[in-house]
């Protein structure tokens, strides 16, 4: 979305509270509406309730058919494994996931939202899923009976009770490790499938890389919006290699949670996460795609940034010997800010899909 966010100030409607620190019984409690939601089912009290409650109904109560009334017929879903189109595809994919992980539950950690135009809502929903690997699957292999948990962030554009577009990022590599699988073996297997099919079905990746480099989707941040601070920080680090200057936006004891078990504290740890990417990817281009922010209790602020990074895999390091391939990363970062300082950075992207690209998958 390239238009400046103008629908309402980021800190308005404080009665629409974050789910942070609230038990599920409180989140799902019945009561009067707290926000006007024209076109939405009356069961939903506000937009955060819509995201939390419909997720609960679909995944915990297993009413998967509700996807047909909560996704548009032509909904577009973007993942780093490829696009998905339509409510029926969402229904089938959800049933397929439950066939492999039949006891899957999803725990909503936060919903950072905005109203980007009258009646057009945007949510960035951070989820931790827990499940047991009971079924065979192309991604995770033969059933292991092992438990696993992984973080997902689903960014959704919603109008009239229906998701019309979604950007889904999941920490799949962490899930693979918990199930005892080999990330490179799975990446090669998926890459072989990609190479066997029609190459044009992966044109979306070429287009996304071109858009990232051209920055034609770059989000414009309104003056005074708290997202300006982390956006500038990532831009300094990934577009200008000024990692030390970028880290000044972080408190010295900042907590970092990044994909694939990267969990640490401090500015140095954060710089290490960024230089791992930058060391592997030459000729980088970072692009900011969307921002949102909401007030939290105790004077803190939650900020969501959706971003993309393109670069050529010419550096050795975390992803093995250089492949020379151009790589795309789709990511969402959630920040907890105290005043103008970031005290927590939670970033999610699909590192298994990055390995899949490195071995030749997902198109030329």
pLDDT, average across residues 101-115: 93
- Give the span between the Cα atoms of 29 and 3, in whole angstroms: 36
Which of 141, 158, 183 finishes a domain?
183
Lowest mean pLDDT across 15-29, 79-93, 163-177, 297-311: 15-29
Torsion from C-alpha of 342, 114, 236, 1, nearest 10 degrees: 170
Q: What is the pLDDT of residue 25?
A: 87
Residue 1 pLDDT grade (very low, low, confident, very high; cuts 50, 70, 90)? very low
The domain of 347 spans: 199-358
Instruction: Report if residue 262 sits inside a domain.
Output: yes
**Tokens representing residue 271 in the block:** 């710089």
Torsion from C-alpha of 264, 267, 268, 272, nearest 10 degrees: 70
- Give the span between the Cα atoms of 277 and 184, in whole angstroms: 18
Do 168 and 240 lie in one domain? The reply is: no
Buried b (16+ CB within 10 A) or exposed e, 207-243: ebbebbbebebbbebeeebbbbbbbebbbbbbeeeeb
Would you say 295 and 48 are in contact if contact means Cβ atoms under 8 Å apart? no
- Give the span between the Cα atoms of 77 and 332, in whole angstroms: 15
Count CB atoms within 10 A of the CB of residue 290: 22
pLDDT, average across residues 74-103: 95
Residue 328 β-bridge partners: 310
Q: What is the pLDDT of residue 196?
A: 85
Instruction: Return the CATH number at 104.
Output: 3.10.450.50
Instruction: Report if residue 144 sits inside a domain.
Output: yes
**Tokens representing residue 11 in the block:** 């800190």
pLDDT, average across residues 23-49: 94
**Tokens representing residue 248 in the block:** 């000044």
Determine which helix (DSSP H) or strand (DSSP E) holds 26, and give its type and residue range.
Answer: helix 24-27
Backbone angles phi, psi at 158, to 5 degrees: -130, 135
pTM: 0.95
Count CB atoms within 10 A of the CB of residue 74: 10
pLDDT, average across residues 57-86: 96
DSSP helix/strand/coil, 143:
coil
Which of 124, 148, 183 finishes a domain?
183
Do 236 and 332 lie in one domain? The reply is: yes
Do 33 and 106 lie in one domain? The reply is: yes
Instruction: Report if residue 319 sits inside a domain.
Output: yes
Q: What is the pLDDT of residue 187?
A: 94
Do 31 and 177 lie in one domain? The reply is: yes
**Tokens representing residue 92 in the block:** 């089938």
Closest CA relative to residue 179, chosen from 142, 206, 214: 142
E strand intervals along the chain? 71-78, 84-85, 105-117, 120-132, 147-159, 162-170, 250-258, 262-265, 281-295, 300-313, 326-338, 341-348
**Tokens representing residue 278 in the block:** 């930058």
Q: Which residue has the higher pLDDT, 6 or 49?
A: 49
Do 142 and 234 lie in one domain? The reply is: no
Closest CA relative to residue 112, chosen from 270, 338, 340, 346: 346
Do 100 and 219 lie in one domain? The reply is: no
DSSP helix/strand/coil, 50:
helix
Do 152 and 215 lie in one domain? The reply is: no
pLDDT digits (tens, 9 = 90+) for 300-345: 999 999 999 999 999 999 999 999 999 999 999 999 999 999 999 9
Instruction: Report if residue 194 sits inside a domain.
Output: no
Count CB atoms within 10 A of the CB of residue 327: 23
- Give the span between the Cα atoms of 13 and 34, in whole angstroms: 9
pLDDT digits (tens, 9 = 90+) for 161-209: 999 999 999 999 999 999 999 999 999 999 998 888 788 889 999 999 9
Q: What is the pLDDT of residue 333?
A: 98
Number of domains in the chain: 2
Give CA separation, 110 vs 113, 147, 165, 209, 231, in Å. 10, 23, 19, 29, 20
Mean pLDDT of the chain: 93
pLDDT, average across residues 141-158: 94
- Give the span between the Cα atoms of 294 and 272, in whole angstroms: 28
Do 240 and 304 lie in one domain? The reply is: yes
Instruction: Report if residue 19 sits inside a domain.
Output: no
Residue 125 has pLDDT above 70, yes or no: yes
Q: What is the pLDDT of residue 48?
A: 97
pLDDT digits (tens, 9 = 90+) for 205-264: 999 999 999 977 789 998 899 999 999 999 999 999 999 999 999 999 999 999 999 999
Do 173 and 224 lie in one domain? The reply is: no
Residue 7 pLDDT grade (very low, low, confident, very high; cuts 50, 70, 90)? low
Q: What is the pLDDT of residue 121?
A: 96
Instruction: Report if residue 126 sits inside a domain.
Output: yes
pLDDT, average across residues 127-140: 91
**Tokens representing residue 25 in the block:** 């019984």
Given the structure tokens 């800010």, which residue do they identify? 337
Residue 6 has pLDDT above 80, yes or no: no
Q: What is the pLDDT of residue 5?
A: 44
Q: What is the pLDDT of residue 141?
A: 86
Q: What is the pLDDT of residue 216?
A: 74
């Amino acid at each position: 979305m390239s238009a400046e966010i103008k629908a309402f100030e980021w800190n308005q409607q404080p009665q629409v509270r974050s789910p942070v620190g609230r038990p599920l019984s409180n989140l799902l409690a019945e009561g009067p509406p707290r926000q006007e939601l024209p076109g939405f089912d009356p069961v939903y009290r506000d937009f955060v309730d819509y995201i939390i409650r419909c997720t609960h109904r679909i995944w915990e109560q297993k009413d998967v058919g509700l996807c047909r009334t909560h996704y548009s017929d032509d909904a577009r879903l973007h993942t780093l494994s490829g696009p998905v189109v339509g409510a029926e595809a969402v229904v089938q994919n959800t049933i397929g996931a439950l066939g492999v992980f039949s006891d899957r539950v999803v725990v909503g950690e936060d919903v950072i939202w905005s109203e980007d135009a009258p009646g057009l809502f945007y949510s960035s929903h951070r989820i931790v899923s827990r499940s047991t690997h009971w079924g065979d699957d192309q991604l995770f292999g033969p059933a292991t009976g092992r438990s696993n948990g992984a973080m997902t962030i689903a960014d959704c554009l919603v109008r009239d009770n229906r998701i019309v577009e979604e950007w889904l990022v999941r920490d799949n590599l962490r899930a693979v490790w918990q199930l005892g699988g080999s990330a490179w073996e799975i990446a090669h297997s998926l890459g072989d499938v990609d190479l066997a099919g029609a190459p044009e079905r992966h044109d979306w990746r070429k287009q996304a890389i071109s858009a990232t480099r051209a920055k034609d989707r770059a989000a414009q941040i309104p003056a005074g919006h708290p997202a300006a601070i982390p956006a500038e920080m990532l831009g300094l680090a990934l577009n200008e290699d000024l990692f030390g200057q970028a880290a000044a936006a972080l408190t010295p004891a900042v907590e970092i949670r990044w994909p694939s078990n990267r969990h640490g504290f401090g500015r140095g740890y954060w710089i290490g996460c960024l230089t791992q990417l930058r060391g592997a990817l030459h000729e980088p281009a970072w692009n900011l795609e969307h921002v949102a922010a909401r007030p939290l209790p105790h004077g803190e602020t939650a900020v969501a940034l959706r971003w993309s990074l393109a670069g050529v895999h010419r550096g050795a390091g975390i992803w093995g010997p250089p492949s020379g391939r151009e790589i795309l990363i789709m990511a969402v970062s959630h920040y907890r800010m105290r005043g103008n300082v970031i005290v927590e950075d939670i970033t999610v992207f699909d590192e298994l899909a990055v390995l899949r690209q490195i071995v030749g998958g997902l198109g030329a």
